[in-house]
Structure 1
Amino acid sequence: MYTVTLTKGVPDFSEGAVSFDEDGHLERGKTPTVMNPNDRFALEAALQTKVRHGGTAAVMSMGPPGYGEVLQEAMSSVYADELFLLSDREMAAADTWATSITLATGIERIAETREQPDLVFAGFKTADGETGHTGPQTCWCLDWPILTHVIALDIDETERTIRVKRLVEGDIEEIETVEAPLPAMIVTDPEFEPTYRKAEHRLTFKDLREETTERAESYEEHLTTWDHAELNLDPDYIGLDGSPTIVSGVDPIPKAPSEREATVVDPGDEAGMESVLDELLPYTNRAAAGGD
């Protein structure tokens, strides 16, 4: 099995230091970057596939050169064999449509230079855009089957099919089972949980973890970077020029206060401890129930 997991670096909103230019475009060079949280579920699904079926696990991202560290983190998570970074100035400021075109072309490039991927995994949505568009749009460009909100999956290598359980939300939450031929795109739900029921799978998991530690430390040796020319992409269809989305406005994210007021109470101070109890009492179930 050859799998590709799509991941992205997103602003570290917890730092409260997200920077935008005057046109409303995120200034990634001035903003701390972390791996998109929802991508971790996609990485777990790819790792489960590698443990159960073997083969090669690759991780791909589109972004600036600094995304190499995000890919290094992804390699540690999914015990990946190969990393791919799609990066140059022509790809900058892309919306989800231009991003999807670039990613799909990168996946096709893997098929040409490595082997045809069997599965591509993507997270549910990103923390910065939250559109949930990139996975489905990339799949549309590839013209593959897509299975979304996946919470569990099984692969039949002989029949070249994948069967998944997906979460359907409506008036009530339901789980449906869907089957599709390979290759296919899998968009994982945050409720995805990998399972390793067989002893051989748990042993493989342990071996892969030990093997990947050293590989992740020298991740640059396993990193392939492609620019738009190497992907044969027309600059008019990627990056900002290829993005039909228009940002009408951006609200700045306020920085969290560096200091907060606090009252220090010595445990030996009986009056002080009583004041603490008086503060907490209204929030207890006991108070709500009218207890003494």
Structure 2
Amino acid sequence: MRSIVLTKGVPDFSEGAVSFDEDGHLERGKTPTVMNPNDEFAYQAALQTRVRHGGHVSGMSMGPPGYAEVLQEGMESVYANDSYLLSDRELAASDTWATAITLSAGLETYQEEVGDIDLVFAGFKSADGETGQTGPQTSWAMDWPIVTHVLALDVDPDERLVRAKRLVEGDVDEIETVEAPMPCMIVTDPEFEPSYHKASHRLTHKQLRAETQDRAADHDEHLTTWSQEDLNLDPDYIGLDGSPTIVSSVDPIPKAPSEREATMIDPDDERGMEQVLEEMQPYAAEAGD
């Protein structure tokens, strides 16, 4: 069984880490990049499938050379066998459509050079774009079935079937059970939780974790980078030229308001320290009681 996990690097949106220019545009070069949080669930689903049924898991991402660190993070956290980075200046400024075209070309190249793919896993949506479009668009480009909002799944390798429980959101949230033939795209829901009920599964999970430590430390040896030419992509369908989406404006993320007001007191300010003592005395009395 051969699986691919699509992952993306996103800005670290923790407070103080995001950098914007004077026009409100995100300065990616000055903002740390981390693995998209929702992709963790996709990796976990791929790992569960590998633990239960064996096989090979590869991480794949489209982005600048620095995204190799994102793929390395995926290898470290969920024990991927190897990584594939689709990286070229011609791919810059791609919207979800152009990204899906590129990823589908990466999947086709993988099948030509490495082996047939059984399953492709993707996260629900990215933390920066939040469109949730790339996984479904890539599935469309591959002409594969897709199962979204997956909460739990298992695979029947003999029947070449995926059986999944998925969340259906509406006036009342429901869970439905579906089947899909492989190859297939799986989009995990943030509520996905891997399960390892059998002792043999837990043992396999432990062994895979141990095997990955050395591999992740030497990630460059397990990383393949493909350029636009390697993927045989038409420049008119990738990057900015191949992106029909037009971004009219970008609003900076507002800084979270402070939950408390703080007064700065210089320790050498005798009167200021007296005020601090006066403020604290009632609480000290309560503690004594």
State how far apart, in whole Å, the 1-side matches of 2:111 and 2:154 are: 23
Q: 1:39: which partner in 2? A: 39
State how far apart, in whole Å, the 1-side matches of 2:208 and 2:107 are: 24
SS of the aligned residue for 1:124 comes to coil
State how far apart, in whole Å, the 2-side matches of 1:26 and 1:99 are: 19
Shift of 1:93: 0.8
CA contact (8 A) 1:11 1:18 kept: yes
Q: 1:77: which partner in 2? A: 77
Within-5 A mapping of 1:1-292: 1-19=1-19, 26-254=26-254, 261-262=261-262, 269-273=280-284
The TM-score normalised by the length of structure 2 is 0.89
State how far apart, in whole Å, the 2-side matches of 1:257 and 1:192 are: 32
43-52 or 247-256, which moves further after superposition?
Answer: 247-256
RMSD: 2.5
CA contact (8 A) 2:6 2:120 kept: yes
Shift of 1:254: 3.9
* Distance change (3 Å), C-alpha of 1:24 and 1:97: farther
1:114-159 residue CA offsets vs partner (Å, 9 max, x unmatched) = 1111000000000000000000000000000000000000111111
* Distance change (3 Å), C-alpha of 1:262 and 1:62: same
1:22-64 residue CA offsets vs partner (Å, 9 max, x unmatched) = 8976442222111101111101000001101111100000010
1:178-217 residue CA offsets vs partner (Å, 9 max, x unmatched) = 0011000000001111011111100000000011011100
CA contact (8 A) 2:85 2:225 kept: yes
Name structure 1 gaps, 5 residues minimum.
277-292
CA contact (8 A) 1:24 1:247 kept: no
13-22 or 103-112, which moves further after superposition?
Answer: 13-22
State how far apart, in whole Å, the 2-side matches of 1:166 and 1:132 are: 16
Shift of 1:274: 7.0
Name structure 2 gaps, 5 residues minimum.
266-275
State how far apart, in whole Å, the 1-side matches of 2:248 and 2:286 are: 50
Amino acid at match of 1:236: D
CA contact (8 A) 1:38 1:126 kept: yes
Shift of 1:272: 3.5
CA contact (8 A) 1:16 1:254 kept: no
State how far apart, in whole Å, the 2-side matches of 1:23 and 1:233 are: 33
State how far apart, in whole Å, the 2-side matches of 1:232 and 1:139 are: 19
* Distance change (3 Å), C-alpha of 1:140 and 1:207: same
SS of the aligned residue for 2:110 comes to helix
State how far apart, in whole Å, the 2-side matches of 1:262 and 1:207 are: 50
Aligned length: 275
SS of the aligned residue for 1:57 comes to strand
State how far apart, in whole Å, the 1-side matches of 2:79 and 2:227 are: 25
